[in-house]
Structure 1
């Protein structure tokens, strides 16, 4: 079996700028292709999670080749961070408009047990912040 890894997550957004600001402010992620998106040269901007993973923000009005719907089957996505980042996110989340949605608590993940906290972003997307060091 080939080695696999997550390349990207794509989120629908009614206010792309709000989500760009939210996630960049919460995690310190760099934004990509924002100027090109604003100029109409590309259909969406992205946030760089790490060297090999991005989150794409699709404007809800944007039509795609694949059927796009504001009704999603995505339950949540999870971001694994170190302990200092986990604590910083806990402090900064409410300031940036994230609603706590459960936790912190010990949960199973890709690398075993970790402490996790769930949040809702300003558009209601559920995301989990997980720390394996705690």
Structure 2
């Protein structure tokens, strides 16, 4: 029997401040911060966009099971967008978000992309890309 996976359901970011992270991703990326109750009955926060979500874990109070060494600021994420990078650059500038690098040519999962890089409040590297 052969096995395979079909898509990513969610990922988890360990963060220093859930409220600050939620505010950043909602303001900068238009995501929606939603609280939810998983099967264990706890109250958790997720950032939702399209059919994707990022679950947030508070550093030092991570839900089990969790990564072997959960730490805020260790992620490197790439978001695809149809919005032109020049528009993103203006948007980042308007919000006072510093561009770390780009636009620069990169290679994504489906081929060539053009990217700009910023950092979130925890220092995670965030790439915003257009198909090239």
Structures share fold, TM-score greater than 0.5: yes
Aligned to 1:91: 90
**Residues in 2 aligned to 1:73 and 1:92: alpha-carbon distance in whole angstroms:** 25
- The Cα of 1:77 is off from its aligned counterpart by 0.9
Normalising by structure 2, we get a TM-score of 0.78
- Cα RMSD (Å): 2.5
Classify the secondary structure of the residue corresponding to 1:99.
coil
Normalising by structure 1, we get a TM-score of 0.77
Aligned to 2:113: 114
Aligned to 2:126: 127
- The Cα of 1:94 is off from its aligned counterpart by 4.4
Q: Deviations over 1:16-55 (max 9, x none)?
A: 1111011111121111117x7xxx941x30011212x101
CA change 1:73–1:25 in 2 (3 A) is closer
What are the residue-to-residue correspondences of 1:34-49 with 2, within 5 Å? 41-42=42-43, 44-49=44-49
- Structure 1, unpaired ranges of 5+: none
Q: Deviations over 1:87-116 (max 9, x none)?
A: 443223245453322111111101211110
Large movers: runs of 4+ above 6 Å: none
Classify the secondary structure of the residue corresponding to 1:47.
strand
CA change 1:121–1:48 in 2 (3 A) is same
Q: Tell me which protein shows more helix as a share of its residues.
A: 1
Q: Is the Cα–Cα contact under 8 Å of residues 27 and 89 in structure 1 kept in the other structure?
A: no
Q: Is the Cα–Cα contact under 8 Å of residues 16 and 57 in structure 1 kept in the other structure?
A: yes
